[in-house]
Structure 1
């Protein structure tokens, strides 16, 4: 016969009901008692029947994670890192993770509908925010718990979201190039349908305008958040009669593509062109030269998103909130003084 809750209770010197409360992570149980019960569970080799508990609680003990496109998103180190933050909290709280596998927007939308109507998850984390995203409307209409990593385009006060102050961060990193004496500054962003691109582009514009520098449409390039996207952007910028001397890039993986393609053009960073970027992924330290970048603390975005979602799952009346994760400018060697 297998180990039961009663066996654990006897080993830990508590009531069986206390063991059940520890398994469900009841906040009313002291940390000392939780540690004693968990030690007894480990010593006895007891594993809770999550499926049975989920049925009793009318809960799946799972959260859905929605990527912008499953075939390309995981090529960018941002997403594995934010998933690491999500999985850490999910593990602590005994939740499993159900990752969307859609490639097109329609597939993603249908996948979320299956999550909701199939009772596959208790709530959803959206890892991106698009302009006029019908996923937001659908989840709100169905009163289904969800949080967004990024800033919602509409109903910002009604949707819990975890974000950086991307406008200020982009303005700050653009000013970094301006302070180095750069006057011709380009911008390489992702899809204009992504709110993060719009916010960072707005910050870039604000910095140029305050410095009385021209905002040139031909200096705006939009590609996918991939190495290939950065490479394509270089082709476009370097074909200009007067290319920029500095570039703000909204993603480190794109910046890696920029550096490799500039090298093919016979141009060196930062001697011929200075670049600054966002995210501070591991690649940013491995490029030649290492990137000056904005550390947006990706792991913490995942942590905070999961904590907020589990709060909403446990209490659907939990009010919407906005959590801003601070950013840090990491200075390395990809930009030089042009004065």
Structure 2
């Protein structure tokens, strides 16, 4: 097994210099780091992560808190794509990730405490926000840096990355209104989630500004799953005066909505237009392909990690506390102009 002393001898530096290169010490010049790292690679030397963390008091690992068990969460395309962005940002800084979660809030808190108290991570990324979330309250009590994907209720001191979900839903509604639609339904996620609250606000704002009455019978809240979209669309289409279009706040829910419409012999977009959120790959494969709002999920994950690492490494400024990622409507074939 190759040792630090052998690396140091080959590089013509002290063993302590090699240790500092391994921990990415800013006191070591880039030229020396490059030289030592090349020798480490040539000699197939891999630093012992546990020993390194004992010396530097840093694990070079970030904990990721999922909304459910990792097994369930990863079934939703949002989380793998956000993790892809997180992984890229962490890889650039030579950090690793640890995924954890739980079926209940209590299980998630226990998992989080084990990461922090066991000094297994340098920071935490929470992958979601709720209206009244004990996870976020616990994180604030802990002596650890963390960031959140999603807007917290109280964002005065929290590092977070999000879209402007009020604006994104508003823009989608204005697009439908400009296409001649006046009866517009909403199939939303759970109102326990701030993303759902914000998108409902954008929905209402567009209707009010255009003097269109809000019909709460056309507003459905459910889970961000296919079944939620299926049941929501069934209910909306069963109304005496169903809408001519519907805003659905997740592409997975839209799959269920399309299935429900097909079963009820309602054609998309001839009978009802659909615009959804997230622009997952599957939105291009539906019949017809979905007009969808691209929320740049990769960037949500990437910046959540970037801002957290700035905080951990003492480089973050107050203006680095939050990042709003732009959204864009991707036009496909699920919306048509409505003439009255």
The TM-score normalised by the length of structure 2 is: 0.92
Residue equivalent to 2:268: 269
What is the correspondence of 1:1-339 to structure 2 with a 5 Å cutoff? 2-9=1-8, 11=10, 16-27=15-26, 34-70=33-69, 71-154=71-154, 156-315=155-314, 319=318, 321-339=321-339
What is the alpha-carbon distance in structure 2 between the residues aligned to residue 210 and residue 297 of structure 1? Answer: 27
The TM-score normalised by the length of structure 1 is: 0.92
CA contact 1:277–1:293 (8 Å) conserved in 2: yes
Change (3 A) 1:67 1:222: same
Alignment deviations for residues 209-268 of structure 1 (CA, whole Å, 9 cap, x no partner): 111111111111111111121111112111211111111111111112211221111122
| Runs of 4+ deviating beyond 6 Å | none
Alignment deviations for residues 256-299 of structure 1 (CA, whole Å, 9 cap, x no partner): 22112211111221111111111111111111111111111111
**Residues 115-124 or 127-136, more deviating:** 115-124
Change (3 A) 1:237 1:48: same
CA contact 1:145–1:313 (8 Å) conserved in 2: yes
- 1:81 is displaced (CA, Å) by 0.6
Change (3 A) 1:165 1:40: same
- Helix, strand or coil at the partner of 2:97: strand
Aligned pair count reads 337
Change (3 A) 1:12 1:249: farther
Alignment deviations for residues 19-56 of structure 1 (CA, whole Å, 9 cap, x no partner): 43443334565656544443332222111111101111
Change (3 A) 1:10 1:216: farther
- 1:12 is displaced (CA, Å) by 5.2
Change (3 A) 1:95 1:290: same
In structure 1, stretches of 5+ residues that fail to align are none
**Residues 246-255 or 35-44, more deviating:** 35-44
Alignment deviations for residues 70-107 of structure 1 (CA, whole Å, 9 cap, x no partner): 25322210011111111222233332222123012222
Q: CA RMSD in A?
A: 2.1
What is the alpha-carbon distance in structure 2 between the residues aligned to residue 26 and residue 260 of structure 1? Answer: 56
What is the alpha-carbon distance in structure 2 between the residues aligned to residue 244 and residue 233 of structure 1? Answer: 13
- Helix, strand or coil at the partner of 1:174: helix
What is the alpha-carbon distance in structure 1 between the residues aligned to residue 148 and residue 64 of structure 2? Answer: 10
- 1:316 is displaced (CA, Å) by 9.8
Change (3 A) 1:116 1:338: same
CA contact 1:25–1:93 (8 Å) conserved in 2: no
Alignment deviations for residues 175-215 of structure 1 (CA, whole Å, 9 cap, x no partner): 11111000010111111010000111111111111111111
- 1:16 is displaced (CA, Å) by 4.5
Change (3 A) 1:267 1:46: same
